[in-house]
Amino acid sequence: MTRTTTAFASSLLGAGLALATLATPVAAQDTVYWLNEASDCEIFRALSAVVPGECAQPGDIMLEPVNTPASGKTRGIRPSGMRLLDAPASAVMPVDQQFAVKQAHPPARKSINARVQFEFDSFDLTVDAKEVLNRLAGVLTDDLMRDQVVQIEGHADAQGSDEYNLTLSQLRARAVRAYLIQQHGISGDRLPFLGKGESELYDASNPTAPINRRVVFTNLTG
């Protein structure tokens, strides 16, 4: 299918945005979960080294509970030295108290893929896309993530020209960012964005596959 770039490039330049530099492809294995199917705990574990106590797994280190004045919630931010071994998390952490744990083996690259659906050949979010982003926002607005900077990367498949795909992927990343800011009150300072076009295909063996049209969220804070 042939697609033109004029309207998208004009919109992009009108917004004062520079085209992103193409980067070296990233191995698909770097991202463990897809946001669309992930549980809240899996989203947390993909994006943060410290996760709520209810998301604990054997080997994680329990953190000492600390009051958080901003919300009144109790979360853990100081290591207590207590390690969760083979017992289920519920066996050592009362369900009526809020704790946090540090993952024993957090991912080296704290990121998660998402199939964020847009209207055909546009950067308008679908209803399904908004539902996916609402789930992500629930994690990003949690006390444990409130200071984390999460980069939004737009990716395209290989249909159309390189220029078109780069422009469209950047506009789609910007649309995702705008939704999280406007609908969930997340600070724009926490949500840098860029488009990578078709430079980092998830499935390079099938460049036009729908799975290549995705958004990747990466925690830049650590």
Domain span at residue 113 reads 6-46+108-219
Average pLDDT, the chain: 76
Q: Are residues 195 and 160 in the same domain?
A: yes
Residue 75 has pLDDT above 80, yes or no: no
**Location of structure tokens 């997340």:** 186
pLDDT digits (tens, 9 = 90+) for 195-204: 987 877 887 8
Kind and range of the H or E run holding 113: strand 111-114
| pLDDT at site 15 | 35
Q: What is the pTM of this model?
A: 0.73
Residue 96 has pLDDT above 50, yes or no: no
Q: Which residues of 180-206 are buried (b: 16+ CB within 10 A; e: fewer)?
A: beeeeebeeebbebbbbbbbbbbeeee
| pLDDT at site 32 | 54
Mean pLDDT of all residues in 56-75:
68
Q: Are residues 177 and 190 in the same domain?
A: yes
pLDDT band for position 25 (cuts 50, 70, 90): very low
| pLDDT at site 179 | 97
Number of domains in the chain: 2
Q: Which residues of 63-96 are buried (b: 16+ CB within 10 A; e: fewer)?
A: bebeeeeeeeeebbeeeeeeebeeeebeeebeee
Helices (H), 76-161: 89-92, 127-140
Name the phi and psi angles at 208, rounded to 5.
-100, 5
Q: Are residues 145 and 42 in the same domain?
A: yes
More confident call, 69 vs 192: 192
Q: Are residues 189 and 132 in the same domain?
A: yes
